[in-house]
Amino acid sequence: MSKKIAKKIVVGNWKMNPLSLKEAEKLFINIAKSVSNFKKTGIIVCLPFLYLEKLKSTSQRTKKISLGAQDVFWEDAGAYTGEISGDMLYDIGAKYVIVGHSERREMGESNNDVNKKVKAAIRAGLVPVLCVGESMRDKNHEYLNFIKTQVIECLNGVSKNFISKVIIAYEPIWAIGKGAYPATPEEFREMNIFIRKILSDKFGVKIVEDIKIIYGGSVDEKNTEGFIKAGYADGFLVGRASLNPKKFSEIIKICEASDK
């Protein structure tokens, strides 16, 4: 597992929440307050595009939280109505961007599209948080082939120089959202080892030691420790719990305690 860089990463994905800029500011400030004593964990909040500009100055003031977006277009500029480029995101204060989230893949995004987005993010100086995850598990372990294809196709053409900048989020679709159950730490551990092996075959063992592989899907303050201790998670991609400053900061507190 990734021993070289102990520091954990916690990425909050606000999805399409909250519904007004005022509420977004309030939520962000409350999160910033509740994480103000933490020193070691990388804290990132991925906001709806519209809130990035306003919250840039708040995040600079508080210093603890980096901003991210939830998607990016693969072209750098031009006639692409409704799209937002990596350079635009970087300019407005984003440092990270989620790519290939299952909720976007469900709307038709292919591995090829995600691959172009990963490369566009890297070109713009953003850190891509690449999401992979199967919709169901089968007895023949076909889901492993599915994940392998996702990892290989989404990282196609990414050079060795940049691969350690990519964060991989294993987020099984069956574990996401209200009413779903998280994966077990053991299920995550299996996938963590498997993804790391795919990456080392492609990019070499040395580089891959630095890559963060994080878990997402019904993460909360109660299951965080298990994923770190038994799953060797390098961090988390958090949905619902990232909208609750208390729960989100508890998750980070547990990460801090594990990075001795």
Whether 171 sits among the annotated catalytic residues: the reply is yes
* Residue 14 labeled ligand binder: yes
Instruction: Considering only the stretches 104-112, 134-142, 143-151, 169-177, report the one whose residues sit in contact with ligand 13P under the rule CB under 6 A.
Output: 169-177
d(CA 34, CA 12): 14
Which one of 85-93, 104-112, 132-140, 213-221 is the stretch in contact with ligand 13P (CB under 6 A)?
213-221
The answer to whether 177 is a known ligand-binding residue is: yes
Residue 219 touching ligand 13P (CB under 6 A): yes
Residue 28 vs 203, nearer CB to ligand 13P = 28
Distance CA 128, CA 122 (A): 7
166, 127 contact by CB (below 8 A): yes
Residues contacting residue 138 through CB under 8 Å, at least 6 positions apart: none
The yes or no reply on residue 97 touching ligand 13P (CB under 6 A) is no
**CB 11 → ligand 13P: shortest distance, Å?**
8
Going by C-beta distance under 8 Å and a sequence separation of 6 or more, which residues neighbour residue 128? 96, 97, 98, 99, 117, 118, 121, 122, 165, 166, 167
244 belongs to the binding site for ligand 13P (CB under 6 A): no
Q: How far is the CB of 178 from ligand 13P (least distance, A)?
A: 7
Among 32, 237, 254, 255, binds ligand 13P (CB under 6 A): 237
Cα(150)–Cα(101) distance, integer angstroms? 12
Least distance CB 80 / ligand 13P (angstroms): 25
Q: Give the CA angle between residues 211, 101, 10 to the nearest 5°.
A: 50
Q: By CB under 6 A, which span of 106-114, 204-212, 217-225, 252-260 interacts with ligand 13P?
A: 217-225
Name the minimum Å distance from CB 242 to ligand 13P: 7
- Considering CB under 6 A, how many residues would be counted as binding ligand 13P? 14
* DSSP reduced 3-state for 225: helix
Specify whether the CB–CB gap between 118 and 166 falls below 8 A: yes
Residues binding ligand 13P (CB under 6 A):
13, 101, 171, 176-177, 216-219, 237-241
